[in-house]
Amino acid sequence: MDRFIDSIEWIAAFFVGVVALNTFLAIVLRKFFSVAIPDYYNIGQFLLGILIFWGIAATSYRGTHITVDLVWANSSPRHQRWIDIFATLVLLFVVVMQTITLYDKVASTRADHVLTSDLALPIWPFFAVAWIGDVSAVLLIAIRSYRLIFHPDQMQDPKLKPVE
């Protein structure tokens, strides 16, 4: 299971690199060669959307997203666990609803044959890759929920040493 989780994180990291490379190439070509990449802006937007959804998947399992833990930090370990379970189940519900909505967007964009302006590339494959990232987020949040409820000992990151 940890290999699956790590591979999701690597895919998210890959898309960070792709977005950075796309931006870097567009700037270098425009600045030094006065050449613009066709559909650079649209493709950059789509890649950024893909990155966001895969990033949600990568951060949701580890719980490394931005949090406000004023109540959590001042609670007992038992209450902290219940807060974690509740928050993760709410997150699971929200991301499931988001995934359903995004699937509708992928299907409608494909059915409408929406294309980019310069190269006439279909847009729906970009949306589909983002949707797969969202599905991955649902799977990872479900795994996190299961482990928080039934196996809280498995939530310790093996790469981190416990604080003593």
- The answer to whether residue 6 sits within a structural domain is yes
- In a domain? residue 32: yes
pLDDT, position 64: 64
Q: Please name the amino acid found at residue 136.
A: S
Condensed to tens digits (0 to 9), the pLDDT of residues 89-103 reads 999 999 999 999 999
Residue 158 φ then ψ, to 5°: -65, -20
* 126 vs 79: CA distance, rounded Å: 41
How far is residue 35 from each of residues 22, 38, 108, 117, measured CA to CA in Å? 14, 9, 34, 17
Out of 32-46, 47-61, 97-111, 147-161, the most confident range is: 97-111
pTM: 0.84
pLDDT digits (tens, 9 = 90+) for 118-133: 999 999 999 999 999 9
**Residue 107 is which amino acid?**
A
The answer as to whether 160 is a domain residue is no
Q: Which residues contact 21 (CB under 8 A, 6 or more apart)?
A: none
- In the predicted model, what is the mean pLDDT of residues 140-154? 90
CA–CA dist 26, 141 (Å, integer): 36
> In terms of residue numbers, what domain contains 94?
2-155
State the pLDDT at residue 65: 63
Instruction: Identify any residues that bridge with 122 across adjacent strands, giving them in sequence order.
Output: 115
More reliable by pLDDT, 69 or 107: 107
- Looking at residue 160, its pLDDT comes to 41
Please indicate, yes or no, if residue 161 is contained in any of the structural domains. Answer: no
Q: Tell whether 164 is covered by a domain.
A: no
- Nearest Cα residue to 56 out of 89, 102, 9, 100: 9
Number of domains in the chain: 1
Q: Is residue 8 part of a domain?
A: yes
Tallying the residues shown for the chain, one arrives at 164
Q: Does any domain span residue 147?
A: yes
- pLDDT for 158: 46
In a domain, 162, yes or no: no
* pLDDT over 70 (residue 163): no
